[in-house]
Amino acid sequence: MSRILHNRLRSSLKKSTAWSCFDKRAVAFSIWTGKSMLLYKPIDPIHIPRRKYGMLIARAVRGVLKIRYLVLGGAVGGGMTLNKKYSEWKDGLPDMGWLNDLLPDNDQWNRFTTTLLDAKDRISDQFQIDPRLREAGVERAAELRAWLAQRYEDAVAAAAANNTEPAPQKIQNNLQSRPVPSSIPARGSAEDTAAYEKRVHALQEEVLALQARYQRELQRLEQENRELRQQNMLLRQGRQPPPRKLKRSLIDMYSAVLDELSGWESGEAGRLPRVVVVGDQSAGKTSVLEMIAQARIFPRGAGEMCTRAPVKVTLSEGPYHVAQFRDSSREFDLNKESDLADLRKEVELRMRNSVRGGRTVSSDVIAMSVRGPGLPRMVLVDLPGVISTQTVDMAADTRDAIKQMTRTYMDNPNAIILCIQDGSVDAERSNVTDLVSSCDPQGKRTIFVLTKVDLAEENLANPNRIRRILEGKLFPMKALGYYAVVTGRSRKDDSIQSIREYEERFFRSSKLFKDGLVTPSQVTTRNLSLAVAECFWRMVRATVEQQADAFKAMRFNLETEWKNTFPRQRELDRDELFERARAELLDQSAEVSAVAAAAWERRLQDALWSAAKDRVFAGIYLPAAAQAHDDVALPVMQVKYKHKAAGDVMLAEVDPYDFDFNKFNTVVDIKLREWAERELPTQSVLAGREALREEFSALMARAQDSDPVYEPVKKEAVEEALRRHTWEERAQDVLRVLQLNALQDRCVASRADWDAAVSLMETALKEKLSAVDEELKSLTGPGIREKWLYWQSTSEEQKRRGEVRAELERLGSSRPTLAHDEVVAVRDNLRRRGVEVDNDYIRETWKPVYLKHFLERAQTRARDCKKSFYLYSQQNGTGKECCEVVMFWRVSATLRTTANALRQQIGNREAARLDRDLREVLDEMAGDPELKQKLLSGRRVELAEELKRVRQVQEKLEEFIEALNKEK
C-alpha cells in the first residue's frame, strides 16, 4: 500500500514540475506574441503591462552596461597602447643633454642679470640725450629715461621670475613685448619717430637672424647626434659604419696613381708626367722645392749629402698649411716650428732607414703631401744630387747609382725636368747639364733654374755671363724656359717669408734688372712655380688619355693570359695568399688542442723512447750487464795447443762466467737515478717539442683543400714558431719529481705490464742487434748471399777484419773486454795464418763481436722470462732471474708517466704558448714584403700581382680622367 502511494506521489510531482516549466515557456511566449499557448486565445496586453515594460527596461539596462564595459575596456587598452607609443617616441628622441654645456646655468644667469643692472645704472648715469630731443624739452627726455629704466626692470624681473635655462629656439623679440609709450613719438618730430622705428626694426631683424642661426646650428647638431647614435648601434651589433667618401682634389687623385706605380718595372709604368728635380750636389734643389712648397720641410747639412732617396712631394691647395706622409695619419702644422722640426727629423730618419746593406743612396720613394693656401698643384720628385767624386764614407757604386737613378726618372718621355744649376760656381764644373741634354736633347720638357744669383752677381765681373746662361747660349742644352732665383743667404733660421722678401728686394735693386739683362718674368720662385705648374698640367692633359688606353690594353693581355694558364683558379695576389695561409695555419693550430689524449700519449711515448733508447742501452743496460759479468768472472782455463795439419791451435771451449743479479740491480738503480736527475727531464721536453712538430706536420698533411702555393709559408711559420717556442722552466722540475717517483717502483703488478716490458725489451734488442749486424757487415764485408746475388766483393781490409772476427768467435770468450792473454793467443793464431795485427786492432774488432753475442743471449733470456710472470708473482717481486725485464718495465713506466705529464702540459699551457708564438711569427711575416716575395713565388703569384696593380692603376686613372673632364 505504501509503495502504491509512493509511486502516485512521485508521478504527481513529475507532472507538477513539467507543468511549471511549460507554464514559464507559455508566459514568455504570450508576452511576445500576444497569444496564449494554453487557451489558444489572444492575451490582452493590458492585463500584463508591468511585466512587458519591465523586460524592456531590463534589456535596455543590460545594453547600457555592456556599452560601459566596452568603453572602459577600450579606454584602458588605448591608454596602454598610447603610453607604449609615447615611450617608444620618447626613446627615439636624440639626447639633448649637450645643451646643458652650451646654455648658461643659474649662477651664470644671475651674474648676467647683475650685469644688466650695472649696465642700467651706467647707462642712466651716462645717458647722453640727443640734441634734437633736448630741443623738445626736458620733460620728453625724462619720460624716455623712465621708459628705458622700466624696460630694464621688466627684463630683470622676468629673468628672475623665470630662473630657467633659455633655449635658443625660444628666443623672442622683447622689443615687441611692450608697446612704446605713445607720448614719446607723439612729442618728437617725424624724423625721430622714423629713426626710432628703424632702430627697432633693425633690432628685430638682428634677433630673428640670431634665432635662425641658432636654429640651423641646433638642426646640424641634431643631425650629427643621429649619425653618432646610428654608428653606436652599428658598433654594438659588431658592424663597422660605412666610411664617408671625401671629395679629393685632382692632384691628390693623380698622386695616388703615381703611388700605385712606385717601384713598377714595366715600361709603361713610368710614363705618367711628374716634375723631376735634378742638379749637382749642393746646387740648391731642396731649397727651390722648399720655396715652391713655402716651408722648410727638408733636413740640411753643411757640405754633406742630405737627399739619399727620392722624395715625392704632392703640392695642393688647402685651407691650412700642413704636411703628411703617405703611410701616416699625422699632420704636421707647417706654421709651428716644433712640427717643422719633427717633420725634418722624420724625413731624415726615413732616408737613413731606406739605406740598407752598406749603400749610400736608395731607390725607395718617400712620399709626402703638402697642402696650403696659394700652393700650386703638381707632383715633384727630389732626387739625390749628382756627384763627381766619391768620398771614403760612400759606397763604391754611389756615383753610378745616382746617375742611373736620375737617368731612370728623366727617361720618362712625359717627365718635366727641373734642372737646377748653381750660379755661384763655374759653368764648366756642372755635371747635370750633360746628363739632361742626353735625356732631352731638344729641351721640350726641360726648365732651367739658375740659383744663388745674388752670389753670382757679387763674384762675377761680367754680368753678360748670367745673361748668356738665361738665354740658353752658354750650356750645351736646350730648355722651355730659363729662370733665375735666390733661395736665401745660407742661414738655417731664415723663414720662407724672409727669404721671399730678400729675393724680391734683391731683384728690385739688381743690376740685371736695371741694365735690362733679365726680363721680370724670368726671376723669382713665384714665377718659376707658376710656370712649372702650368707646364705640368699641360703635359698631364695631353698624355693621360693615352696612358689610360695603354693600361687598359695591358690589363686585357694579362687577363687573357690568366684565363688560358690558370682557368679554374682565383686571381689571388701575394697578400691574399698569405692571409689564406695564415687562416689555415691558425685553424690547424687550434686543432692541436682537440687531439685525443690517447693519440697524444702514443705519440709522446714514441718520441720519448726514440730520444731515450740510446741512453738506456749504452749508459744503463750494457754497463750494468758488463759489471755483473766482470765481478763473477773465473780464471780462463787454457789447454795446451795441439798442432794440426793446417798448423792451427784450438782454445778450450769453457763457459767460465755467471751473472751477478745483485750487482746488476745496484748499478741499474744508480744509473737510472742519475739519468732521471740530469738528462731525462731535458730529453722529455725535447721529445714533447718533437711531438708537437710531428702533430703540426700531420695536421698540415691531412688538409686536403690546402693550396700548394702557400705551403712554403706555412712550413716556414711553423718551423720558426717551434724554434722560438720554449717549454716552461718549472715543467722540468715537475717532470723530474714524477720520474724519480716512477723509478722507485720495482714491482710489476699485472701480466699485461709484464708482457709489455718483455715486448719492449725484445723490440729494443732486435733494433740494436740489427744495427750491430750492419756494423759487422761494413767491417768484414758482404756475406755469401750478397756475393752471389748482388755481385759484391770484399776488400783487403774487410778480409783481414773477417779473419780476426773468425778467430775471436772461436775464442768463445764472454767478457766485455779481452784479457791480455786472450789477445796474445788470438794474435799468435792469426800470425801463424799470415795475418799481422796489433792488440788495439783485435780489441776494436772484439767490441761488435761481443755485443752481438751478448744481444743474442739477452734475446734468449727475454723469451725465457716471457713465461716467468707466474714465478715472479709467487716470489712477490723478489726474484732476480728476470731483473732485465724489470729494468725495462721501470723505464717503460717512467716514460708512460712522463708522456701523461707532457700531454697535460701541452693541453694546459704549451699549445696556447705555441699558438701565441705562431701568431707573432705570422705578424712579423706579414710586415716583411721581401720574405713574402721569397716564400710566395711563381708565375701564378707574379701574374696575379701584376694584374691587380694594373687594375688599380686603370681604375684610379679613369677616376682622375673623369674628374679632370669635369673641371674642364
Q: Which residue has the higher pLDDT, 788 or 16?
A: 788
The neighbouring-strand residues paired with 333 are 322
* Inter-CA distances, 221 with 95, 97, 162, 244, Å: 11, 12, 27, 18
Q: Which amino acid belongs to residue 517?
A: L
Is the confidence at residue 656, as pLDDT, over 60? no
Provide CB contacts within 8 A for 910, sequence distance 6+.
Answer: 688, 692, 725, 727, 728
Q: Are residues 433 and 293 in the same domain?
A: yes
Q: Are residues 621 and 575 in the same domain?
A: yes
**What does the angle CA 238 – CA 244 – CA 247 come to, to the nearest 5 degrees?**
165
Res. 91 pLDDT band, cuts 50 70 90: low
Rg of the chain, C-alpha, whole Å:
54
Res. 277 pLDDT band, cuts 50 70 90: very high
DSSP state of 294: T
Q: Are residues 406 and 324 in the same domain?
A: yes
Q: Which uninterrupted H or E stretch holds 607?
A: helix 597-615
| Biggest CA pair distance of the chain | 174
Do 523 and 507 contact (CB within 8 A), yes or no?
A: yes
For the stretch 347-356, pLDDT in tens is 888 888 887 7
Distance (Å, whole) CA 310 – CA 811: 85
Q: Which amino acid belongs to residue 99?
A: L
Q: Tell me which of 15-19, 80-84, 545-549 is least confident.
A: 15-19
Do 889 and 748 contact (CB within 8 A), yes or no?
A: yes
Nearest 10 degrees: Cα torsion 900, 906, 907, 909: 130
pTM of full prediction above 0.75: no
Q: Are residues 681 and 740 in the same domain?
A: yes
For the stretch 905-937, pLDDT in tens is 888 888 888 889 999 999 999 888 889 888 988
Kindly state the average pLDDT of the residues 657-669: 77
Q: Does residue 217 form part of some domain?
A: no
Q: What is the mean pLDDT of the chain?
A: 76
Q: Are residues 345 and 451 in the same domain?
A: yes
Return the pLDDT at 61.
65
Looking at the 3D structure of the chain, how many domains does it have? 3
Return the pLDDT at 323.
92
Q: Which amino acid belongs to residue 793?
A: S
Helix ranges (DSSP H) in 876-938: 883-905, 911-926, 929-935
* Residue 267, helix vs strand vs coil: coil
Q: Tell me which of 16-20, 100-104, 762-766, 882-886 is least confident.
A: 16-20
Do 615 and 894 contact (CB within 8 A), yes or no?
A: no
Distance (Å, whole) CA 221 – CA 98: 10
Do 882 and 865 contact (CB within 8 A), yes or no?
A: yes
Q: Classify strands 332-333 and 322-325 as parallel, antiparallel or unpaired.
A: antiparallel
Grid coordinates in use for 519?
Answer: 726680363
Distance (Å, whole) CA 527 – CA 503: 12
Number of neighbours of residue 130 by Cβ within 10 angstroms: 13
Do 28 and 36 contact (CB within 8 A), yes or no?
A: no
Q: Does residue 642 form part of some domain?
A: no
**What does the angle CA 623 – CA 628 – CA 630 come to, to the nearest 5 degrees?**
95
Q: Tell me which of 411-420, 791-800, 912-921 is least confident.
A: 791-800
Distance (Å, whole) CA 135 – CA 192: 12
Res. 72 pLDDT band, cuts 50 70 90: low
Kindly state the average pLDDT of the residues 149-173: 49
* Closest residue by Cα to residue 608 from 695, 534, 681: 681
Tell me the percentage of the chain whose pLDDT exceeds 90. Answer: 5
Q: Tell me which of 94-103, 712-721, 745-754 is least confident.
A: 94-103
Q: Does residue 486 form part of some domain?
A: yes
Tell me the percentage of the chain whose pLDDT exceeds 70. Answer: 69
Do 820 and 840 contact (CB within 8 A), yes or no?
A: no
Return the pLDDT at 636.
34
DSSP labels for 834-857? T----HHHHHHHHHHHHHHHHHHH
For the stretch 170-213, pLDDT in tens is 333 333 333 444 444 444 456 667 777 777 667 766 766 676 66
**What is the three-state SS of 643-711?**
CCCCCCCCCCCCCCCCCCHHHHHHHHHHHHHHHHHHCHHHHHHHHHHHHHHHHHHHHHHHCCCCCHHHH
For the stretch 368-395, pLDDT in tens is 999 888 888 888 999 888 887 777 677 7
Q: Classify strands 322-325 and 311-317 as parallel, antiparallel or unpaired.
A: unpaired
For the stretch 288-302, pLDDT in tens is 888 888 888 888 765
* Residue 331, helix vs strand vs coil: coil
For the stretch 552-591, pLDDT in tens is 898 899 999 999 998 888 888 888 889 988 888 888 888 8
Grid coordinates in use for 164?
Answer: 630657467
Return the pLDDT at 629.
66
Q: Tell me which of 78-82, 357-361, 640-644, 823-827 is least confident.
A: 640-644
Q: Does residue 928 form part of some domain?
A: yes
Distance (Å, whole) CA 372 – CA 370: 7
Is the confidence at residue 57, as pLDDT, over 80? no
Is the confidence at residue 169, as pLDDT, over 60? no
Q: Does residue 267 form part of some domain?
A: no
* Inter-CA distances, 822 with 632, 800, 819, 844, 845, Å: 18, 18, 5, 14, 13
Kindly state the average pLDDT of the residues 400-422: 87
Q: Are residues 485 and 340 in the same domain?
A: yes
Q: Are residues 890 and 863 in the same domain?
A: no
Q: Does residue 206 form part of some domain?
A: no
DSSP labels for 397-416? THHHHHHHHHHHHHTSTTPE
Q: Does residue 618 form part of some domain?
A: yes
Is the confidence at residue 239, as pLDDT, over 60? no
Is the confidence at residue 438, as pLDDT, over 50? yes
Q: Which amino acid belongs to residue 302?
A: A
* Closest residue by Cα to residue 734 from 611, 911, 900: 900
For the stretch 496-513, pLDDT in tens is 888 888 888 888 887 776
Return the pLDDT at 332.
92
Q: Which uninterrupted H or E stretch holds 947?
A: helix 939-967
Which CATH number covers residue 383? Answer: 3.40.50.300
Q: Does residue 453 form part of some domain?
A: yes
Q: What does the chain come to in residues?
A: 968
Last residue of a domain, one of 519, 550, 581: 550
Last residue of a domain, one of 831, 854, 876: 876
Q: Are residues 716 and 822 in the same domain?
A: no
The neighbouring-strand residues paired with 176 are none
Do 452 and 485 contact (CB within 8 A), yes or no?
A: no
The neighbouring-strand residues paired with 366 are 311
For the stretch 615-627, pLDDT in tens is 888 888 888 887 7
Grid coordinates in use for 797?
Answer: 781490409
Last residue of a domain, one of 856, 876, 896: 876
* Closest residue by Cα to residue 114 from 172, 76, 164, 155: 155
Return the pLDDT at 42.
45
Q: Are residues 734 and 755 in the same domain?
A: no
Q: Which residue has the higher pLDDT, 726 or 113?
A: 726
Distance (Å, whole) CA 294 – CA 288: 10
Grid coordinates in use for 425?
Answer: 760656381
Q: Are residues 794 and 697 in the same domain?
A: no
The neighbouring-strand residues paired with 367 are 312
Return the pLDDT at 920.
92
Q: Are residues 369 and 354 in the same domain?
A: yes
Distance (Å, whole) CA 634 – CA 657: 6
Maximum mean pLDDT: which of 217-221, 234-238, 941-945: 941-945
Q: Are residues 805 and 734 in the same domain?
A: no
Return the pLDDT at 113.
61
Do 773 and 706 contact (CB within 8 A), yes or no?
A: no
For the stretch 687-723, pLDDT in tens is 888 888 888 778 777 766 678 888 888 888 988 988 8
Do 573 and 414 contact (CB within 8 A), yes or no?
A: no
- Rounded to 5 degrees, what are φ and ψ at 35? -120, 155
What is the domain range of residue 519? 272-550
Q: Classify strands 322-325 and 275-279 as parallel, antiparallel or unpaired.
A: unpaired
Nearest 10 degrees: Cα torsion 25, 28, 31, 33: -60
